[in-house]
């Protein structure tokens, strides 16, 4: 019995000594976490990988006392390296940085437009295979160099730069001016035979108000989404902008959508949640505008028909609900006869945007970014005939019509507008 007790005691002592850590264990102060990765075209058939690395000391200081939050330059450091593969980057950078670089907390992969136009698949594949890279990281396309974007991106309100990307993911639901996409979904879309992929556009705005669109009296309109990233006339501390979407066909970028087109794209897909949309007052005598806070009431309905020759026609019905939260005119929107005019005007405006966008994706991009193919494939029982049908080749000839139904539910805090007295 004493021998058994001794053996047990010996095993416990040995186990506590030998099981104190596992083979892969590392202390947090031995690791440097990459928060964002930018990939640009490099010289000599290479790529330039730019990383934003978290500086934990600064993050702790910023979070604790609030004093460090204002200077986000200290929260992360930016490094670039020219290499032949994205995942060769940590080893090369570790010739300079003394902590092991880790992609476990990487929140964003930003590809430059130039690289995306040449094809992105060969750069995405190694990321998907890596155990460190998470499929929930977001993908962005940068107008201009991704390196410049990462260097100039300065989310001064957030202690952690990674928080910016988490917030951006959710913020797209608040206005719909860009569409968020995670790495897994982006990768799936690259392979899918029923949908082409998009990715949010990012850019740096260097000027002031030169890029502002003209007002109504100068031939413009009231739409606030007529910009792509880098064009929005904003001045301030952070020069980075997120608006618009890059459109792909296969793994190559074909062009981009501005903010308004991105909203139409999201509405057709049923992914639009909320947004403020301005349009010309249909009853106004001058250049008055009316502002709708609108959201998608329910998922769109798709009716697909395929005739014997394989021609596809699709009818899409979009259902919106709005609240009037802004109006410069004096007409009383709450009047039932007026209300239907405003509803129709809004519906026509969105309808026109959607139909124009679909036409553009058919003629200019040849790319079914809306996933109409996902509805068309319901008409096939097995994979083989579906693959033989080659929907993405048929997309440009498909007859697609969008109808928008809009209901104004509320009129904000004002029911009736009394005109101001005339002098």
Contact residues: another protein, CB under 8 A: 22-24, 128, 131, 134-136, 163, 166, 170, 182, 184, 187-188, 191-192, 194, 371, 374-375, 377-378, 380-386
Query: Whose structure tokens read 């005019």?
Result: 341
For strands 138-142 and 198-204, give the pairing. Answer: parallel
Between CA 303 and CA 372 the distance in angstroms is 10
Instruction: Say if CB 79 and CB 98 are below 8 A apart.
Output: no
Least distance in Å: CB of 191 to another protein? 4
Least distance in Å: CB of 170 to another protein? 7
Nearer to another protein, 128 or 341 (CB): 128
Least distance in Å: CB of 333 to another protein? 35
Nearer to another protein, 163 or 339 (CB): 163
Nearer to another protein, 176 or 230 (CB): 176
Nearer to another protein, 4 or 336 (CB): 4
Nearer to another protein, 249 or 375 (CB): 375
- Start-to-end CA span in the chain (Å): 110
- Residues recorded for the chain: 423
Residue 214 is classified by DSSP as: P
Least distance in Å: CB of 136 to another protein? 4
Nearer to another protein, 132 or 221 (CB): 132
Instruction: Say if CB 190 and CB 124 are below 8 A apart.
Output: yes
Instruction: Say if CB 105 and CB 33 are below 8 A apart.
Output: yes
- Count H helices and E strands in the chain, helices first: 13, 13
Least distance in Å: CB of 43 to another protein? 32
Q: How far is CA 277 from CA 3, 180, 224, 366, in A?
A: 82, 20, 7, 28
Helices (H), 232-278: 259-269
Least distance in Å: CB of 147 to another protein? 27
């Amino acid at each position: 019995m004493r021998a058994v007790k001794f053996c047990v005691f010996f095993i416990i002592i040995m186990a506590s000594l030998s099981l104190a850590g596992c083979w892969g264990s590392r202390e947090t102060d031995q690791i440097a976490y990459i928060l964002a990765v930018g990939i640009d075209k490099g010289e000599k058939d290479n790529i330039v990988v730019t990383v934003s690395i978290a500086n934990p000391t600064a993050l702790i200081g910023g979070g604790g006392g609030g004093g460090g939050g204002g200077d986000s330059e200290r929260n992360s450091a930016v490094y670039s390296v020219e290499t032949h593969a994205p995942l060769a980057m940590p080893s090369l950078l570790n010739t300079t940085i003394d902590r092991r670089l880790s992609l476990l907390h990487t929140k964003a992969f930003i590809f430059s437009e130039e690289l995306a136009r040449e094809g992105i698949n060969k750069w995405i594949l190694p990321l998907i295979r890596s155990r460190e890279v998470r499929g929930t990281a977001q993908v962005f396309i940068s107008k201009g160099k991704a390196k410049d974007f990462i260097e100039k991106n300065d989310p001064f309100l957030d202690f952690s730069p990674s928080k910016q990307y988490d917030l951006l993911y959710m913020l797209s639901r608040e206005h719909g001016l860009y569409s968020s996409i995670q790495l897994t979904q982006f990768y799936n879309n690259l392979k899918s035979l029923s949908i082409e992929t998009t990715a949010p556009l990012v850019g740096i705005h260097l000027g002031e108000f030169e890029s502002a669109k003209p007002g109504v009296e100068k031939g413009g309109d009231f739409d606030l989404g007529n910009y792509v990233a880098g064009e929005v006339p904003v001045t301030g501390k952070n020069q980075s902008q997120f608006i618009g979407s890059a459109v792909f066909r296969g793994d190559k970028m074909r062009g981009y959508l501005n903010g308004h087109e991105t909203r139409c794209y999201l509405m057709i897909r049923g992914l639009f949640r909320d947004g403020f949309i301005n349009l010309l007052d249909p009853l106004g005598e001058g250049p008055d505008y009316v502002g709708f806070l609108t959201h998608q009431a329910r998922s769109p309905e798709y009716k697909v028909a395929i005739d014997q020759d394989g021609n596809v026609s699709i009818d899409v019905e979009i259902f919106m609900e709005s609240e009037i939260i802004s109006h410069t005119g004096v007409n009383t929107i709450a009047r039932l006869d007026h209300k239907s005019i405003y509803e129709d005007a809004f519906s026509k405006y969105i309808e026109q945007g959607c139909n124009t966008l679909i036409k553009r994706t058919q003629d200019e991009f040849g790319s079914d970014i809306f996933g109409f193919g996902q509805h068309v494939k319901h008409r096939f029982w097995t994979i083989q005939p579906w693959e033989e049908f080659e929907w993405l080749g048929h997309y440009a000839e498909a007859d697609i019509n969008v109808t928008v139904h809009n209901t104004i539910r509320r009129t904000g805090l004002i029911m009736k507008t009394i005109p101001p007295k005339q002098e």
